[in-house]
Amino acid sequence: MLKWIDMPPVWLAGFLALAWVQATRFPLGLRLGGGWVDFAGGLLVGAGLLLIALAAMEFRRQRTTIVPHQTPARLIQSGIFKRTRNPIYLGDALILAGLILRWDAVLSLPLVPIFVWVIERRFVIPEENRMRRVFRADFARYCEKTRRWV
């Protein structure tokens, strides 16, 4: 059961809940700006959702698992995975940043790098270690040509 609770969407929901509570209960009169902040936040959320959708399509096309605690059957290097090794986690970070902007949660902006740090330590590094063991030289070459985040 704990394995299913320890998933990136749950971590994202937790960070979003913290940002929302800060925005609604403790705004402290701080504001980022007007309509341009809402627009930028909307763009970030949209970009995050698009990255996640593109990555999910590649997982489905390659017929391999999208579950973080499992080792994929194939090393995906096509589609969005040509640009970033972690498009879903990048999408999650963009969604968090975008909603923080939309909610005008100024004090929650530091949650974005903290979220990236947690996801990297909790999911990215263990996944890469599993893939390094399974795909060996192919994964090493992939890491040389494709960055972890952007």
Instruction: For residue range 81-139, list pLDDT tens digits in order.
Output: 999 999 999 999 999 999 999 999 999 999 999 999 999 999 999 999 999 999 999 99
Residue 42 pLDDT: 97
Using the predicted structure, report yes or no on whether residue 2 has a pLDDT greater than 90: no
- Is residue 48 one of the residues assigned to a domain? yes
Nearest to 41 by CA among 96, 101, 95: 101
In angstroms, the Cα distances linking 72 to 67, 75, 87, 101, 127 are 8, 7, 15, 34, 9
Q: Into how many domains does the chain fold? A: 1
Quick one: pLDDT band at residue 31, thresholds 50, 70, 90? confident
Q: How far apart are CA 142 and CA 135, in angstroms?
A: 10
Q: How far apart are CA 25 and CA 109, in angstroms?
A: 16
- Is residue 79 one of the residues assigned to a domain? yes
- Is residue 150 one of the residues assigned to a domain? no
Token match 């999911």: residue? 123
Q: Could you tell me the residue range of the domain that residue 61 belongs to?
A: 2-23+30-145
Residue 1 pLDDT: 55
- Written as one letter, the residue type at 55 is A
Q: Is the entire prediction scored with pTM above 0.85?
A: yes
Residue 55 pLDDT: 98
Query: ∠71-75-78 over CA atoms, to 5°?
Result: 140
Query: Between these two residues, 27 and 131, which has the higher pLDDT value?
Result: 131
Q: What is the pLDDT of residues 37-79, one digit of tens each?
A: 999 999 999 999 999 999 999 999 999 999 988 889 999 999 9
